[in-house]
Homo-oligomer: A and B are copies of this chain.
Amino acid sequence: MAQCLADLDGLFLALADPTRRAVIHRLGHGPASVGELAREATMTLPSFMKHVRVLETNGLIHTAKSGRVRTCTLNRERFTVVEDWLARQRRLWEERTDRLEQFVTDSTHSMEKRTS
């Protein structure tokens, strides 16, 4: 729970790169090997691997090596940490909007009382 606050730093940072978002997008269609993913990127394999590591250490993907091939899979649940944060902020604004509406409604009632 308290961990989630720290997690957000890494998660948002991991998502703040087009190469990594492209990997996520690709893995949305199903698992893929590092080589397969790297072919679509415009950089050397070692550079690309770093991106894969970032995604993995932040829990956005899971990887497993079988023979000489490392296969990557999307970890869908992890995205809810980000989505939940966004939802919490949104709820905050909406609560405030509700209070503002309440205020306006109350004022209208007061005016009605005054005018009637």
A1-58 interface with B by 8 A CB criterion: 5, 8-13, 15-18, 21, 24-25, 28-30
With contacts A13-B13, A13-B16 taken as known, whether A90 is within 8 angstroms of B96 at the C-beta atoms is: no
Contact of A79 among B10, B13, B86, B96 (CB under 8 A): B86
With contacts A13-B12, A16-B13 taken as known, whether A29 is within 8 angstroms of B96 at the C-beta atoms is: yes
Q: Is the interface of A mostly helix, strand, loop or mixed?
A: helix
Size band of the interface chain A makes with B: 20 to 34
Q: How many copies does the complex hold?
A: 2
Q: From residue A68, how far is it (CB to closest CB) to chain B in Å?
A: 27
Residue of B nearest to A16 (CB): B12
With contacts A16-B16, A83-B86, A86-B79 taken as known, whether A92 is within 8 angstroms of B28 at the C-beta atoms is: yes
Chain B residues near A92 (CB, 8 Å)? 25, 28-29
Residue of B nearest to A28 (CB): B92
Residue of B nearest to A86 (CB): B83
Q: Which residues of A come within 8 Å of B, CB atoms?
A: 5, 8-13, 15-18, 21, 24-25, 28-30, 74, 76, 79, 82-83, 85-86, 89-90, 92-93, 96
